[in-house]
Amino acid sequence: MNAAATRPPASAWPPHGPTPIRAILFDKDGTLFDFRRTWLAAYRGAAAELAELAGLRPWFVDALLARHGYDPAGGTFTAESPLLWATTHDLAALWSAEPELAAIGDVERRLERRFSDLDAYPPVPLTDLVGLFERLRARGLKLGIATMDGTAATEATLVRVAARELVDFLACCDGGHRRKPDPGMVLGFCAAVGVAPREVAVVGDHLADLAMARAAGAGLAIAVLTGGCPAAALETEADLVLRSVAELESALAGRII
């Protein structure tokens, strides 16, 4: 499949023609930032720390990630892997339930410290985000981010790449908009920036992003292949599938007011 700006099925377009897009809601990790170079590295670091505390050998790092949907040999994830979407709280609960780690009482605190360390695990943008956001804003678009990461970490990440002032709205796992795939993040964005759901394009790398868009009645559900979710799974659910967010502007040609 040519993933560059593939045309959506006819059923995705309203009978009277496509509604113009006035706002874009982005997922963060895997969509705007390189998931493997940041989060996968942080997962490995956290797992190694826990393994050492539990007196386990290094092999446990790969074993732990494999139990939760990551294939270390192939470098791939299952579509259902919680490593792709879970909050830190969720992941801590899953890892704490592993028999080898049951005696470690502060797993969540350790994960929080690891995952918030932007010096050890710096966010790596998947394109020139400042340039992309500035061009989109110059065309009158409102921009938002919907992520299962926390507000403080998301703010710090955007500040680090000088993009915070270019984003109109943040919906994070602790922001009161419920969690993906609930439509709350999209609806909160719409209310904050004054657009209807059909005027919003949701861009993400996971099935939860696409399901959130559908549940909210978003105008477009766009998948990018830069995350960990298998392409075959995304292709069945998205209106558009792009190689990366760098292709977004050309993909939306004719839909932006």
For residue 239, pLDDT beyond 90: yes
- 137-187 tens-digit pLDDT: 999 999 999 999 999 999 999 999 999 999 999 999 999 999 999 999 999
Question: Is the pTM value of this prediction over 0.85?
Answer: yes
User: What are the tokens at 178?
Assistant: 């419920």
For 13, residues 6+ apart whose C-beta sits below 8 A from its C-beta are none
215, 39 Cβ separation under 8 angstroms: no
Instruction: Give per-residue pLDDT as tens, 59-102.
Output: 999 999 999 999 999 999 999 999 999 999 999 999 999 999 99
User: Do 190 and 168 touch, CB atoms closer than 8 A?
Assistant: no
pLDDT by residue (tens digit) across 182-223?
Answer: 999 999 999 999 999 999 999 999 999 999 999 999 999 999
Q: What are phi and psi of 70, to 5 degrees?
A: -115, 135
- Asked whether the predicted pLDDT for residue 18 surpasses 80, the reply is no
Q: What is the mean pLDDT of residues 247-256?
A: 91
β-pairing, 76-77 vs 70-71, is: antiparallel
Nearest to 23 by CA among 205, 163, 169, 237: 169
DSSP 54: T
Closest Cα partner for 245 from 148, 139, 128, 138? Answer: 128
What's the rounded Cα separation, in Å, for the pair 195 and 190?
5
| Tokens 């943040």, located at residue | 170
C-alpha pair distances (Å), 173 with each of 28, 97, 200? 12, 22, 20
